[in-house]
Structure 1
Amino acid sequence: MLSNLKPQAPDKILMLIEEFKADTRQGKIDLGVGVYKDPQGVTPVMRAVKAAEQRIWESQTTKAYTGLAGEADYRNAMAQMVLKDVPTDRLASLATVGGTGAIRQALELARLANPDFTVYVSDPTWPNHLSIMKFMGVPFVEYRYFDNDTRGVDFAAMKEDIAKAKQGDIVLLHGCCHNPTGANLTLAQWEEVAEILEKSGAVPLIDLAYQGFGDGLEEDAAATRLIAKRLPEVLIAASCSKNFGIYRERTGILFALAENSAARDLSQGSMAYLNRQNYSFPPDHGARIVSTILTDEALRADWAAELEEVRNSMLGLRAQLASELRDLSGSDRFDFIAEHRGMFSRLGATPEQVAKLKSEAAIYMVGDSRLNIAGLNKDTVPVLARAIIDAGI
């Protein structure tokens, strides 16, 4: 039987990681992998996470199963962080295996509710969005999003495309820090998106993977909260990997905002059912770290302060890179890098130019020219800037 398996296409980002490891050149720079790194190139364990784990280790008396939907403390704390004032009698929630698991369960829930749905997804988007939908056999269409000339959002084209979504379809939106482009909608534009979805009856699925990495914890949740207040039904997939730095703990959550309490109860039961069919009980350690931090005033304050340090570090790197490129190019064509938010920016380079960066300068980034700003430090920014100019970008 197993010999009948067909080889699967390898993940391009994972391939890039292995290629980077095998490169023996001194001074090589990894801007491909999507994890935060400090100036020393380390993805650190946050202070509050260490303190929370110590507290859990000292107080935990059992490793028995949690509920199918995860612990209530975690789900309630995350609902407060992400949504704040949304009526709880309309909100169902589910602990998941990372934000990726939340996306998968959201699509499974949508299929249970409407087997004939289509997903509208930005062009470009996080590659795993497309991979998951293709594997599931979920039909999708891409809506125009990124303007390769301005490196900003082509909002007129986006509005035209998402207006084609029908009642019961899903429109997948990035809540903040768009991956892979770093180009975000303004709140005024989010209001227009909400109006379009109100008219069509399509359901937004918001992927909120980077809350706190863009303009701040509250600011990065503003668009999601706006949509939740305007629309009767909203799906939200959130991740704790980045903002808590607990990548390997695979801690995520799915929210389903329903039209009324009866629909909320149906959603909650269906979501628990989906967990049971997939991995049964969700992992608890990362969720318990998060709930311990969010429900303790001192831990939460320390976590929020360190998250701000991370965010400001990335903003500083963006400003430095844009300034270096302005000086080297004698133009403002790279100023978009300082305007983008989150870990990523898309340079708008050709695959050939990206390949030249790798072969001639040992600078690794994804083939679509997405670069991880957090992979830089103040010493490597000038190296990258010079390489970008030399590559003719």
Structure 2
Amino acid sequence: MFEKIKAAPADQILGLAEEFKTDPRTDKINLGVGIYKDESGYTQVLATVKKAETILLEKETTKSYLSILGIPEYGLAVQKLLFGDNTTLTDDKRIQIAQTPGGTGALRLAAEFIKCQLGSAKVWVSNPTWVNHNGIFTAAHLEIAEYSYYNSETKDIDFVAMMTHLETASAGDIVLLHGCCHNPTGIDPNNVQWQKLANLCNEKNLLPMFDLAYQGFAFGLEEDVAGLRIFANTCPELLVASSFSKNFGLYNERVGAFTLIGRNDQEAATAFSQVKSIARVIYSNPPAHGAAIVTKILCDETLRTEWVQEVTDMRLRIKAMRELFVTTIRRESVGTDFSFMGRQNGMFSFFGLNKGQVTRLKDEFGIYIINSGRISVAGMTQSNMDLLCKAIVAVI
């Protein structure tokens, strides 16, 4: 029965990582996968994670199943991180949160909820967007539409075109927004633009959905949810898929959350009953260990303070690599202007290199970048910067 099955194409990002591993060159550079690396090029376990794990392992008494929604304290901790300690959403019981297997699990849960409960609504995604967004929503048999986001000439957000496209969306459509550190461009709306987008969604009865995978990597944990909170204060209904892979370094623990905000407590609870039913048939209940780590750190004042500093250190290292790249490539080629790197946030930069240039970087220089030209700034180090900049100048 299997002989008629055709091989699926390799995943654009994870497949590239596998190819990188088998490359025998010692000076190779992986700028494809979105994983934070330190100056030595290694992804360390955060010190606070190690401390939390030690405490948890000493006190752990069972490996029994969690509920469908996961650890209750985790949901409360996520809620406070996203919306603050004193949000009226809590008092009004308009907010419901489910622990999920990573941010991708939250997105798939959202996709299935949209398909099963919201009918023929389109999902509007930015052009460009994270490559897996289209795959997730297509797998749920949802119709996808694109809105303009990036101006390749100015290397900046094309906000006018973005608004123009979203004006054509129909009532009931879903608008997917990157909460911060837009992947792949690294460019985010400012607060004035966030408010205009929120007003548009509210006026046209569009359902906003936030993908929040990099909280703390742009300007800070509070600053990076400014857009989300503007929407929560403007729009009566909202969906959020969030992840702790990056800011806790819990990549292989798969720690995420799906959040639903309803117009009132009854509607939120009813809608979320359907979310629970969907989760039950996809993964039944979420894994415990990673979420327990996050809960312990966020609820322990000392650990939380240390963790905030660790997130700050990661953010500042990425910003330092952006600055070093700009100065280094300017030295390699005076006419090459990459100053736009300084306006971008987070782990990624969208250089707009074409497929031929990306292939040359891999074949000739051992530098691995996905075909779209997105570069993971977190993979840059002081030791590989000269080689990287020389290679990029060579191919452009």
Q: Does the CA-based 8 Å contact 1:326-1:335 persist in structure 2?
A: no
Is the contact between residue 211 and residue 217 of structure 1 (CA under 8 Å) also seen in structure 2? yes
Give the match's secondary structure for 2:48: helix
Are 1:365 and 2:332 counterparts? no
Query: C-alpha separation between the residues in 1 aligned to 2:7 and 2:365?
Result: 32
Q: Hey, what's the Cα distance between the residues in 2 that align with 1:17 and 1:220?
A: 29
Tell me the distance in 1 between the aligned counterparts of 2:287 and 2:121.
30
- Please name the residue that 2:63 is paired with: 63
1:76 maps to which residue? 76
* Residues 180 and 344, structure 1, Cα contact 8 Å, conserved in 2: yes
Tell me the secondary structure at the aligned position of residue 222 of structure 2.
helix
Q: Distance in 1 between matches of 2:137 and 2:227?
A: 24
1:79 Cα deviation from its structure 2 partner: 0.5
- Residue 209 of structure 1 corresponds to 213
Confirm whether residue 389 of structure 1 aligns to residue 376 of structure 2.
Answer: no
Residue number in structure 2 paired with 1:242: 246
Match of 1:119, SS state, is strand
* Residues 1:181 and 2:189 aligned together: no
Consecutive unaligned residues of structure 2, counting only runs of 5 or more, are none
Cα deviation for residue 210 of structure 1 reads 0.3
Instruction: Give the CA deviation at 1:138.
Output: 0.8
SS at match of 1:87: helix
The residue aligned with 1:356 is 360
Q: What amino acid is aligned across from residue 16 of structure 2 in structure 1?
A: L
Contact 2:34 2:347 in 1 (8 A): yes
Equivalent pair of 1:94/1:255 in contact (CA under 8 Å): yes
Residues 271 and 158 of structure 1: CA distance in aligned 2, closer, same or farther (over 3 Å)? same
Instruction: Report if the CA contact (8 A) 1:149-1:348 is conserved.
Output: no
Aligned residue in 1 for 2:338? 334
Q: Which residues in structure 2 correspond to 1:194-343 (within 5 Å)?
A: 194-331=198-335, 333-343=337-347
Give aligned pairs, total.
392
Alignment partner of 1:114 out of 97, 111, 118: 118
Whether the aligned pair in 1 keeps the contact of 2:111 and 2:136 (CA below 8 Å) is no
**8 Å CA contact 1:86, 1:229 repeated in 2:** no
**Aligned to 1:140, which of 144, 162, 187?**
144
SS for the counterpart of 1:143 is strand
Match of 1:41 in 2: 41
Report SS of the residue matched to 2:331. Answer: helix
**Identical aligned residues as a percent:** 40
Question: How far apart are residue 281 of structure 1 and its match?
Answer: 1.1
Structure 2: distance between partners of 1:309 and 1:245:
13
Q: Deviations over 1:49-96 (max 9, x none)?
A: 111111110111111111111111000000000111251210011111
Structure 1 length as normaliser, TM-score? 0.97
SS state of the match for residue 140, structure 1? strand
Name 2:18's counterpart in structure 1. Answer: 18
Provide Cα deviations, 1:322-365, integer angstroms capped at 9, x if missing partner.
Answer: 11223333247211112111100011111111112122221111
2:99 matched residue in structure 1: 95
The DSSP-based 3-state class of the residue aligned with 1:172 is strand
Q: Which amino acid aligns with 2:66?
A: T
The DSSP-based 3-state class of the residue aligned with 2:320 is helix
Residue in 2 that maps onto 1:128: 132
Residues of 2 paired with 1:79 and 1:36: CA distance? 25
Question: For the residues of structure 2 that align with 1:83 and 1:164, how far apart are their CA atoms?
Answer: 30
Letter in 1 for 2:18: E
Residue range with higher mean Cα deviation, 15-24 or 368-377: 15-24
CA deviation digits over 1:156-190, x for unaligned, max 9? 11111112222211100000001111111111111
Q: Aligned equivalents of 1:329 and 1:122: distance in 2?
A: 32
Offset at 1:18?
Answer: 2.0
Identify unmatched segments of 5+ residues in structure 1: none
Q: Is the 8 A contact 1:163 1:197 kept in 2?
A: no
2:54 equivalent to 1:50: no
Partner of 1:378: 382
1:43, distance to aligned residue in structure 2 (A): 0.7
Contact 1:318 1:337 in 2 (8 A): yes
**Does residue 30 of the first structure (1) align with residue 34 of the second (2)?**
no
CA contact (8 A) 2:115 2:140 kept: no
Per the TM alignment, residue 15 of structure 1 is displaced from its structure 2 partner at its CA by 2.1
Distance 1:385 1:87 in 2: 48
Q: Are the counterparts in 1 of residues 198 and 234 from structure 2 also a CA contact under 8 Å?
A: yes
Q: Distance in 2 between matches of 1:158 and 1:135?
A: 25
Q: Secondary structure at the match of 1:367?
A: coil
Whether contact under 8 Å (1:205, 1:235) holds in the other structure is: yes
RMSD: 1.2
Question: Does the Cα contact within 8 Å between 1:92 and 1:267 map onto a contact in 2?
Answer: no
2:149 partner amino acid: Y
Q: Deviations over 1:261-288 (max 9, x none)?
A: 1111112211211111111111111111
Q: 1:182/1:63 Cα in 2 relative to 1: closer, same or farther (>3 Å)?
A: same
Separation in 2 of the partners of 1:86 and 1:19?
A: 49
The alignment's TM-score, normalised by the length of structure 2, stands at 0.96
AA partner of residue 46 (structure 1): L
Structure 1 consecutive aligned stretches of length 4 or more whose deviation exceeds 6 Å = none
